[in-house]
Amino acid sequence: MRFEQLIKSSLPPMTLAEAQLDLDYRARRVIRNQLKWQAHSLAIAREGSDIPPSAEDNEVLNNINKQIVETDNPLRFSK
């Protein structure tokens, strides 16, 4: 669909609770995408090196992966 058609189409009204859930989902998705980008960037930086990854690099990558899993958990963002 073209952008203009999307703007013209009417969306069903949302309750405040539905809007909050939608906002929480979008926030988790943005955070998860940022973390995946960080993990990907770290993997690319390590890929070109002949030196094996250090324990610190592995710890950083493990922490990023753990945060990605945490953002998949909707209870983390619930009140």
Nearest-angstrom CA–CA distance, 40 and 3:
31
* Measured CA angle at 52 (ends 48, 58), to 5 deg: 100
Query: What pLDDT digit, counting tens, does each position of 36-62 carry?
Result: 898 888 887 777 777 777 788 788 888
Cβ neighbours of residue 42 closer than 8 Å, sequence gap 6 or more: 57, 60, 61, 64
Using 50, 70 and 90 to split pLDDT, how confident is the model at 76?
A: low
pTM here? 0.61
Ordered by start, the domain boundaries in the chain are 14-45+52-76
